[in-house]
Each structure stands twice: as C-alpha cells, then as structure tokens.
Amino acid sequence: MRKTSIITGSATGVGASTAIQLAEEGWNVVVNYSKSEREAEETSQVCRSKGAEVLLFKADVSVDDKCRDMVSAAIEKWGRLDALVNNAGTTRFCPLSNLEGVSEDDFLHLYRVNVLSAFQMSRAAAPHLKKTKGSIVNVSSISALNGSGSSIAYTSSKGALVTLTLSLAHALAPDVRVNCICPGFIQGRWTRNFLKENYDRVNANFAQASSLQVTATPEDIADAIAYYVTRAKINTGEIRTIDGGFSHNVAKLG
C-alpha cells in the first residue's frame, strides 16, 4: 500500500517540489492551496504523471476546521496518513529598525499562517501519524536563527515555528518524528513576488555571502524535506539549516 502525505501550501515553490518528489518516490499526496488553483492543478497533474494518486484540497490552514477537514479527507480517501509537511507561509516586508511599521494585525496574520497553521495541522494529523509511525516536517527559515529577515513579525513567527517543532517532538514521541528545515534564500516565484524588482540583487547578494556561492532552488529544499520524511528514521527534534553555508560564513558576514 502506498504511503500518503499532506503538504500544505503545495501549489508552487517548495511545496510543489516536495509533492512531486514524494510522488516520484511512490507516495500519494494531498496538494493543498488557498488561492493558486491553476498552479495547484498543474502540480497535481505532474504528481499523477509520476504514478501518484492526488487529492487536491483548497483550504486556508490558518483556520482549524479547514485543517481538520483536510486530514479527514485524506483518511477517507486512503485510510492512512504517513507524513505531514507544514510548508504554508507568508511574510510582510518592513525594515527591522521600523518598529512602528509593524502592526498588531501584521503579527497576528503572520503567526496564524506561519505558526498556528502548523500546530493545527499537526494536532489534526497526530492520531493518524501515530498509527503509521509517521513524521512531520516544518518549514521555517534561517531568519528564525539569526533574527534577520523581511520583518520582525516574520522572523519571530519562524522562530516560534522552530520552538513548536521541539515541543511537538517531545509531545509526539516515540511514535511520530518531528523535524524542521530552515532554508536560506530560495529562488522562485514566492521570493520574486515579494521582492519584485529587487529579486535579482537580493539573490545575488545571498549567493555572494554564502560559502558555496549559491542560493537554493525549491528542489534543493524538497530534497531535504524528503530525507526527513522517508529516510531519517531515528531523527527527531532536529533543526536543519540549508543555505549554502551562508549562516556559517563568518568571514564574509563579519
């Protein structure tokens, strides 16, 4: 019987690449989206071409009922759940020094999407993941570890997601493994949409500041997620940085 996975925010980018990679490795997948229906359909078609069964599910994962509905739909379709990838996320750009530029609504919105959704999805999925000895992978950011990023609301929400990972790893052990990926700059539509005309410059700056002189593609991050989903059988509570050595390149950063 094929294993099954839910990947939140999987219409495009890292989520789509993860769904496709798991499909290639023999998994059935839930492709989740909230707005990008056309892209989600395209991702689903690619997954089906790899031999996977696909459940396309529209849901705002910041809403608890939608999270529970999505998990229930996966169980109804396949009778099991083996992995959850909490990839859905958003940001708002505001210089860190502009404390007045970040509103209460900004904080609450980013925490709902970046942190609360991961908790709600994990809570809904946990009983089923325990039955299969499954896993959860949360997608955070190096912003969680260095405090620098698109806004204070974003960096703190991603930091909270790291802590949530550690707490869930304790709470769900020994039945469910819970790990976290912290990517650096990721090429593609998501960052391009937010950065607009600044995209090429920011991408080049991150590459120059990294040890390997590169930035990550969505496929690079999907590789790491798939590792924790399918192969890291004795790893839990791990926080893995994937940034081409950007975080450790003290000489260039200093």
Q: The tokens of 192 are what?
A: 């391009």
Q: Which of 111, 154, 227, 228 is catalytic?
A: 154
Give domain status of residue 155, yes or no: yes
Asked if the model's pLDDT at residue 212 lies above 60, the reply is yes
Give domain status of residue 117, yes or no: yes
Domains of the chain: total: 1
Give domain status of residue 205, yes or no: no
Cα 107 to Cα 45: distance, rounded to the nearest angstrom = 36
Q: Which of 23, 14, 10 lies closest to 50, judged by CA? A: 23
The answer to whether the CB of 5 falls within 8 A of the CB of 85 is yes
The DSSP bridge partners found for residue 67 are none
- Residue 222 corresponds to which amino acid? A
The answer to whether the CB of 50 falls within 8 A of the CB of 27 is no
The residues, any chain, with a CB within 8 Å of residue 192's CB and separated by 6 or more, are 199
- pLDDT single digits (tens) 54-72: 999 999 999 999 999 999 9
Give domain status of residue 211, yes or no: no
Give domain status of residue 103, yes or no: yes
The position carrying tokens 């839910």 is 6
- pLDDT single digits (tens) 179-203: 999 998 888 777 777 678 888 888 8
Asked if the model's pLDDT at residue 248 lies above 90, the reply is no
Give domain status of residue 115, yes or no: yes
CATH of the domain at 65: 3.40.50.720
Asked if the model's pLDDT at residue 17 lies above 50, the reply is yes
| DSSP helix/strand/coil, 36 | coil
- Residue 177 belongs to domain spanning: 4-186+218-247
Residue 180, CB-side half-sphere exposure with 13 Å CA sphere: 24
Put simply, whether the predicted model's pTM sits higher than 0.75 gets the answer yes
Q: 101 or 60: which carries more pLDDT confidence?
A: 60
DSSP 196: G
Give domain status of residue 106, yes or no: yes
Rg (CA), the chain: 17
pLDDT on residue 253: 45
pLDDT on residue 195: 76
Asked if the model's pLDDT at residue 250 lies above 60, the reply is no
- pLDDT single digits (tens) 108-138: 999 999 999 999 999 999 999 999 999 999 9
Cα 45 to Cα 208: distance, rounded to the nearest angstrom = 36
Give domain status of residue 198, yes or no: no
The DSSP bridge partners found for residue 242 are 183
Q: Is 154 a catalytic residue?
A: yes
